[in-house]
Amino acid sequence: MTAHISAEALAAYARGELGVGDPMTWPVEVHLEACADCREQLLPYAPPPLLTMLEDTGTAILARASAGPRPVRSRRVRRFAHRWASWSMMPWALMTVTAIIAAFLLDVAFPLRPSVVLLLAPVAPLAGLTIAWSRHADPSWETIAGTSRAGVDLLLRRTVVVLAVVFPLLAATGWRLGTNPALWLLPCLTFTAATLLLGGLIGVSRAAMLLGGAWVLAVAAPALIAVELPVLVRPESLPGWGAAAAVLTGLALLRAGDHVRLKSWN
């Protein structure tokens, strides 16, 4: 289009007299998009409130730009925290610390009864995994699930955070009670790997609840009722736990792609 827009048409457009259905509106807008001269001609016709708003916006943008980039340190810290954990994991961490300490105190008070620390160890990280990778517990799960880093990479980071809370406590309590470290470490790793493997199919939270519930109902509760340490937490079971931990970790890594799917967040 070579001819410019007439002053009358520009004034009518600026006053809002050209409605959406007006046959003039479309050619005027197309021309304005391409023609800087007509855009400049349009400016004096713009209503005062719009001019004030444009001026305020321009001033605000210039002020932001001249203030320079915002300090990134706090943002980096926040982003780092989000990559590794979410704040919703805090109550879990407190609960787990309390549970392990309570188990330790019970073991100290009743040394002849089955060790509550050993019975708790396999399922100690599971509540953390339920919180770390859940669409209910993490308010920003949809945003995270939509990013390219979501999937097994982020899940493993959060698992590391969970284990970093659980391991030192179990190590300290186990050492004080004089138990073989492998007795809590191998079951702990086995159940974590099993949760990650099963979690790819049915969701991490569901897998953690299923496996944790099965352990409590089938092993821990009967042992406490019968006042007898089950064979599963005795040293003769260690080769079995070692093999299970190795196989399940390998399978969980092979099936890592499952966690890209949204089902993993169930």
- The stretch near Zn ion (CB under 5 A) out of 28-36, 42-50, 76-84, 152-160 is 28-36
How far, in Å, CA of 132 to CA of 138, rounded? Answer: 7
CB of residue 144 to Zn ion, shortest distance in Å: 48
Which is nearer to Zn ion, 35 or 137 (by Cβ)? 35
Is there binding between residue 38 and Zn ion (CB under 5 A)? Answer: yes
Is there binding between residue 216 and Zn ion (CB under 5 A)? Answer: no
| 265 closest CA partner among 218, 223, 204 | 204
Which is nearer to Zn ion, 4 or 79 (by Cβ)? 4
Count of positions on this chain that bind Zn ion (CB under 5 A) = 4
Is there binding between residue 4 and Zn ion (CB under 5 A)? Answer: yes
Q: How many CA atoms lie within 13 A of 7 on its CB side?
A: 1
Q: Is 231 exposed, middle or buried (0-12, 13-18, 19+ CB in 10 A)?
A: exposed
- The stretch near Zn ion (CB under 5 A) out of 4-12, 60-68, 172-180, 183-191 is 4-12
How far, in Å, CA of 259 to CA of 84, rounded? Answer: 16
Are 103 and 120 in contact by the 8 Å Cβ rule? The answer is yes
Which is nearer to Zn ion, 33 or 236 (by Cβ)? 33
How far, in Å, CA of 101 to CA of 168, rounded? Answer: 12
Q: What are phi and psi of 229, to 5 degrees?
A: -70, 120
Is there binding between residue 35 and Zn ion (CB under 5 A)? Answer: yes
CB of residue 35 to Zn ion, shortest distance in Å: 3
CB of residue 5 to Zn ion, shortest distance in Å: 6
- Which residues are at the interface with Zn ion (CB under 5 A)? 4, 35, 37-38
